[in-house]
C-alpha cells in the first residue's frame, strides 16, 4: 500500500511516537535533532580529542565500506587505492563522529519498539543493540526480537572486521521497520551483542545507526532501509532529502520538502554506486579557484570536510597566517587567523555553493586564541573528498536512488 498523502513528524530523541501533522504531497518527514559539535559556541575552544577521534573513526568507517564493497561485488572499490582497505587500523568500526550526528526516530517490530537513529548516508546497514548487549550498550534501547511477532532470526552472525577491542558484532534478524509513517517489511537488522567504544551513551546519543547509501557497501549484504521502502512501493519517489541545520533539521523520505529550499537543484550523477559518490567540480577560496575535479562522497554521518593532504595543504597555503595544527587538533588539521575566516565554495552540478563562514570555523584552538581551527582536514589515507555536514548545513540536499544522483539547492 502506498501512503502518499500523510505528512508525519516523529518526535525527537525520546520516543518514536509518530504524530500526523498536516496533509501534503512530496514525502514523509522525520524531524532530526543534533547533538553538540566540536565546540559549543564560537567563543569556546575546540575539543582536540574529539577532532582526532573524528578523523580516525571516519577513516575506519571508509575502510569498512570499501572492504564490504570488495566482498559484495568481487572488485576493489576504485577509491580504495591508497592506504584505505589495505591496512588494518585499530579504530572504531562504527561511526560516532564526535557527538555531532543527526538523530531521528524509527520503530522496529510488531508491536513497534521505538529507537532513535543516526541517519548516515555514508553507510548502508541498520544496527541496533540487542538485549544480550549489556555493558557496552548501556543507556541505549535494545531491540527485543522475542517481543516482536514479525521478527525472524536469520541465524547469521555479523561482525565489523576492523579494530580489535572495538568491534561491533551480533546476530542478524529480519523485521518490520517503521519510519515517518511508512513501513519496510523483512528489513535486515543487525542486533549487536557487543557495541564498540564509540557507541557508549556518552559519545553516541542515538540507539543505533541507519545507513542510507547503497547495498554494495552493506556489511550485512542487505538492502538499506530506504531501498526496502522504495522496492516495497512505500514511497512515490526514490528520493530522500536532508535539511541539516542547528534548528528545524529534517529528513524527507520519498520526495523533497519544497518549503525548505528555493530555486532549482544542481544535480550530480553518482559515479560509483556504493557511497553517494559524485564529482566535486571545483573549489574556491576567497574567490580563487583551487582545482577542477575530484571524487567526493556526500556523507551525513561525517561532520568535517576531509580530503587528500596535498590538496588541503594547497588550500591553507592561500590563507596568510594559516598553519598545520597537529598539536592542537591532530594531524591533518590547520588553523587560520580568527579574523580572516576564508570564504569557501564548492561546485557541484555546475553550481558553486558557499560554506557558511560560521560553519567553516570550528572555533579558537584554545580559549582566547586568535587562531581558529578549520573544518577542512587533510588525510594521507584519502585520495578523495568526504563532504560532511560542514558543507551540508549550508544547502538542501536530495539523494535520488532512482536516477542515482545527488542534488543541492539553496536553503529557503
Ligand atoms: C563476505 O561475505 C560473505 C557472505 O556473502 C560473508 O560470509 C563473509 O564473512 C564476508 N567477508 C568479509 C570479509 O566481510
Ligand atoms: C510495486 O509496484 C510495481 C509496479 O506497479 C509492481 O510491479 C511491484 O510488484 C510492486 N511491488 C510490491 C512489493 O508491491
Ligand atoms: C535555535 O533554537 C534555539 C533554542 O530554541 C534558539 O535560541 C536559537 O536562536 C535558534 N537558532 C536559530 C539559528 O534559529
Ligand atoms: C547523468 O546521467 C543521466 C543518465 O542516468 C544522463 O542522461 C545525464 O546526461 C548524466 N549527466 C551528466 C552531467 O553526465
Ligand atoms: C569575491 O568576489 C565578490 C564579487 O565577485 C566580492 O564581492 C567579494 O568581496 C570577493 N571576496 C573576497 C574574499 O575577495
Is residue 404 scored above 90 in pLDDT?
A: yes
Instruction: For residues 199 and 297, state if they share a domain.
Output: no
Look up the CATH number of the domain holding residue 192: 2.40.70.10
Give the model's pLDDT for residue 382. 86
Instruction: For residues 169 and 291, state if they share a domain.
Output: no
Instruction: For residues 270 and 236, state if they share a domain.
Output: no
Instruction: Give domain status of residue 2, yes or no.
Output: no
How far is the CA of 131 from the CAs of 14, 58, 114, 145, in angstroms?
19, 28, 14, 9
Give the model's pLDDT for residue 6. 20
Give the count of domains, the chain: 2
- State the Cα–Cα distance between residues 2 and 158, nearest whole angstrom: 32
Give the model's pLDDT for residue 398. 97
Is residue 117 scored above 70 in pLDDT?
A: yes
Instruction: For residues 12 and 61, state if they share a domain.
Output: yes
Instruction: For residues 327 and 224, state if they share a domain.
Output: no
Ligand 4 pocket test, pick from 238, 269, 270, 293 with the greatest ligand atom count within 8 Å of Cβ, gives 269
C-beta 269 within 6 A of ligand 4: yes
Q: What's the mean pLDDT in 208-221?
A: 95
Instruction: For residues 195 and 308, state if they share a domain.
Output: no
Is residue 242 scored above 70 in pLDDT?
A: yes
| Cell numbers linked to 216 | 554494495
Instruction: Give domain status of residue 108, yes or no.
Output: yes
Is residue 202 scored above 70 in pLDDT?
A: yes
Q: What's the mean pLDDT in 307-324?
A: 95
Give the model's pLDDT for residue 165. 54
Is residue 245 scored above 90 in pLDDT?
A: no
Query: What is the span of the domain harbouring residue 148?
Result: 7-253
Instruction: For residues 247 and 323, state if they share a domain.
Output: no
Instruction: Give domain status of residue 1, yes or no.
Output: no
Q: What are phi and psi of 356, to 5 degrees?
A: -55, 135
Q: Which of 253, 274, 300 is the last residue of a domain?
A: 253
Instruction: Give domain status of residue 58, yes or no.
Output: yes
**Residue 231 pLDDT grade (very low, low, confident, very high; cuts 50, 70, 90):** very high
Instruction: Give domain status of residue 121, yes or no.
Output: yes
Q: What's the mean pLDDT in 112-118?
A: 93
Atom nearest to 404 CA in ligand 4: 5
C-beta 71 within 6 A of ligand 1: yes
Atom nearest to 343 CA in ligand 5: 13
| Cell numbers linked to 252 | 524527507
pLDDT winner (highest mean) among 7-16, 95-104, 240-249, 313-322: 313-322
pLDDT tens track for 15-42? 223 333 232 345 677 777 665 455 444 4
CA-nearest residue, atom 4 of ligand 3: 247
Give the model's pLDDT for residue 56. 80
Is residue 403 scored above 90 in pLDDT?
A: yes
How far is the CA of 167 from the CAs of 51, 196, 266, in angstroms?
21, 5, 39
More confident position, 232 or 61: 232
CA-nearest residue, atom 6 of ligand 5: 287
- State the Cα–Cα distance between residues 342 and 354, nearest whole angstrom: 11
Give the model's pLDDT for residue 247. 64
Q: Which of 253, 278, 305 is the last residue of a domain?
A: 253
- State the Cα–Cα distance between residues 328 and 334, nearest whole angstrom: 9
Is residue 126 scored above 50 in pLDDT?
A: yes
Q: What are phi and psi of 359, to 5 degrees?
A: -80, -40
User: Residue 198: helix, strand or coil by DSSP?
Assistant: helix
Is residue 146 scored above 70 in pLDDT?
A: yes
Mean predicted lDDT score pLDDT of the chain: 83
Give the model's pLDDT for residue 338. 94
Q: Taking the model in full, what pTM does it have?
A: 0.86
Instruction: For residues 249 and 264, state if they share a domain.
Output: no
Instruction: Output the CA 247–ligand 3 centroid distance in Å.
Output: 6
pLDDT winner (highest mean) among 67-71, 244-248, 334-338: 334-338
Give the model's pLDDT for residue 161. 55
C-beta 262 within 6 A of ligand 4: no
Ligand 1 pocket test, pick from 71, 72, 74, 76 with the greatest ligand atom count within 8 Å of Cβ, gives 71
- State the Cα–Cα distance between residues 300 and 311, nearest whole angstrom: 22
Q: Measuring from each residue's beta carbon to the nearest atom of ligand 5, which residues come in under 6 Å?
A: 286-287, 343
CB neighbours of residue 42 within 10 Å: 12
CB neighbours of residue 311 within 10 Å: 17
C-beta 311 within 6 A of ligand 2: no
Q: Which of 53, 125, 175, 299 is catalytic?
A: 299
Residue 86 in contact with residue 76, Cβ under 8 Å?
no
C-beta 185 within 6 A of ligand 2: no
**Percent with pLDDT over 70 in the chain:** 83
Q: Which of 235, 253, 271 is the last residue of a domain?
A: 253
Instruction: For residues 179 and 75, state if they share a domain.
Output: yes
**Percent with pLDDT over 90 in the chain:** 56
| Cell numbers linked to 219 | 556489511
- State the Cα–Cα distance between residues 237 and 200, nearest whole angstrom: 36
Instruction: Output the CA 274–ligand 1 centroid distance in Å.
Output: 17
More confident position, 389 or 121: 121
Instruction: Give domain status of residue 400, yes or no.
Output: yes
Q: Which of 120, 125, 223, 389 is catalytic?
A: 120
Q: Is 120 a catalytic site residue?
A: yes
Q: Measuring from each residue's beta carbon to the nearest atom of ligand 3, which residues come in under 6 Å?
A: 246-247
C-beta 402 within 6 A of ligand 4: no
Q: Is 236 a catalytic site residue?
A: no
Q: What's the mean pLDDT in 197-221?
A: 88
Longest dimension (CA), the chain: 63
- State the Cα–Cα distance between residues 98 and 187, nearest whole angstrom: 28
pLDDT tens track for 149-177? 999 999 999 987 544 456 788 999 999 99
DSSP code, position 147 = G
- State the Cα–Cα distance between residues 55 and 95, nearest whole angstrom: 11
Instruction: Give domain status of residue 74, yes or no.
Output: yes
- State the Cα–Cα distance between residues 46 and 338, nearest whole angstrom: 13
Instruction: For residues 296 and 152, state if they share a domain.
Output: no
Q: What are phi and psi of 326, to 5 degrees?
A: -65, -30
pLDDT tens track for 52-93? 877 887 888 888 899 899 999 999 999 986 555 444 333 222
Q: What's the mean pLDDT in 323-346?
A: 93
Instruction: Output the CA 272–ligand 4 centroid distance in Å.
Output: 13
Ligand 3 pocket test, pick from 33, 247, 358 with the greatest ligand atom count within 8 Å of Cβ, gives 247
Q: What's the mean pLDDT in 365-374?
A: 90
Atom nearest to 233 CA in ligand 2: 1
Instruction: For residues 245 and 392, state if they share a domain.
Output: no
Give the model's pLDDT for residue 115. 94
Instruction: For residues 241 and 361, state if they share a domain.
Output: no
Instruction: Give domain status of residue 102, yes or no.
Output: yes
Cis status, amide bond into 14, omega within 30 of 0: no
Amino acid at each position: 500500500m502506498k501512503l502518499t498523502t500523510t505528512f508525519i513528524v516523529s518526535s525527537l530523541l525520546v520516543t518514536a511516537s509518530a504524530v500526523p501533522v498536516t496533509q501534503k504531497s512530496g514525502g514523509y518527514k522525520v524531524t532530526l535533532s543534533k547533538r553538540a559539535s566540536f565546540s559549543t559556541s564560537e567563543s569556546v575552544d575546540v575539543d582536540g580529542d574529539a577532532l582526532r577521534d573524528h578523523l580516525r573513526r571516519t577513516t575506519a568507517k571508509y575502510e569498512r565500506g570499501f572492504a564490504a564493497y570488495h566482498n559484495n561485488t568481487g572488485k576493489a572499490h576504485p577509491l580504495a587505492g591508497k592506504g584505505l582497505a589495505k591496512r588494518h587500523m585499530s579504530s572504531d568500526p562504527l561511526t560516532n563522529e564526535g557527538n555531532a550526528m543527526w538523530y531521528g526516530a524509527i520503530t522496529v517490530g510488531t508491536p513497534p519498539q521505538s529507537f532513535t537513529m543516526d541517519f548516515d548516508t555514508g553507510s548502508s546497514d541498520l544496527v541496533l543493540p540487542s538485549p544480550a548487549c549489556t555493558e557496552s550498550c548501556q543507556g541505549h534501547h535494545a531491540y527485543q526480537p522475542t517481543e516482536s511477532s514479525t521478527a525472524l532470526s536469520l541465524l547469521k552472525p555479523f561482525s565489523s572486521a576492523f579494530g580489535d577491542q572495538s568491534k561491533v558484532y551480533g546476530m542478524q534478524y529480519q523485521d518490520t521497520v517503521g519510519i515517518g509513517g511508512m513501513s519496510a517489511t523483512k528489513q535486515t537488522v543487525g542486533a549487536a551483542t557487543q557495541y564498540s567504544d564509540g557507541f557508549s551513551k556518552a559519545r553516541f546519543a542515538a540507539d543505533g545507526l541507519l545507513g542510507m547509501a547503497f547495498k554494495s557497501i552493506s556489511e550485512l549484504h542487505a538492502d538499506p532501509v530506504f531501498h526496502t521502502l522504495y522496492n516495497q512501493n512505500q514511497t512515490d519517489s526514490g528520493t530522500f532529502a536532508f535539511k541539516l541545520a542547528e534548528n528545524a533539521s529534517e529528513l524527507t523520505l520519498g520526495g523533497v520538502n519544497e518549503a525548505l529550499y528555493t530555486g532549482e537543484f544542481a544535480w550530480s550523477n553518482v559515479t560509483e554506486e556504493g557511497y553517494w559518490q559524485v564529482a566535486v567540480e571545483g573549489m574556491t577560496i576567497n574567490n580563487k579557484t583551487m582545482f577542477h575535479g575530484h571524487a567526493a562522497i556526500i556523507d551525513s554521518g561525517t561532520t568535517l570536510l576531509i580530503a587528500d593532504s596535498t590538496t588541503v595543504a594547497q588550500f591553507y597555503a592561500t590563507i596568510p597566517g594559516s598553519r598545520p595544527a597537529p598539536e592542537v587538533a591532530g594531524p591533518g588539521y590547520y588553523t587560520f587567523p580568527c579574523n580572516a575566516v576564508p570564504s569557501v565554495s564548492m561546485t557541484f552540478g555546475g553550481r558553486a555553493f558557499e560554506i557558511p563562514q560560521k560553519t567553516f570555523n570550528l572555533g579558537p584552538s584554545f580559549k582566547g586564541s586568535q587562531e581558529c581551527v578549520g573544518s577542512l582536514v587533510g588525510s594521507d589515507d584519502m585520495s578523495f573528498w568526504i563532504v560532511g555536514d560542514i558543507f551540508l548545513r549550508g544547502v538542501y540536499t536530495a539523494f535520488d536512488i532512482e536516477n542515482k544522483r545527488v542534488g543541492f539547492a539553496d536553503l529557503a
